[in-house]
Amino acid sequence: MLASRNTLLLLAAILVIGPAVTGYALYEEKKKPDGIEISVGKNGLSIKGK
């Protein structure tokens, strides 16, 4: 009985945590600004279009 309860709790945690992590990752990706990225590094000036 205890093993099945632990399995059920583990499954419930996966079903809650999985979509939460995926949603957060999608939110972070969407939060990035559109346009161009300009950076200065050891190889000089770099301009990348997004």
Q: What is this structure's pTM?
A: 0.54
In the block, residue with structure tokens 């059920």: 8
Name the 3-class secondary structure at 43.
Answer: coil
Q: Please, what is the Cα angle at 49 between 45 and 50, to 5 degrees? A: 135
Cα–Cα distance measured from residue 27 to residue 19, given in angstroms and rounded to the nearest whole number: 12
pLDDT bracket for residue 50 (50, 70, 90): low
Residues 13-38: tens digit of each pLDDT: 999 999 999 999 999 988 877 788 88
Phi/psi at 14 (5° precision): -65, -40
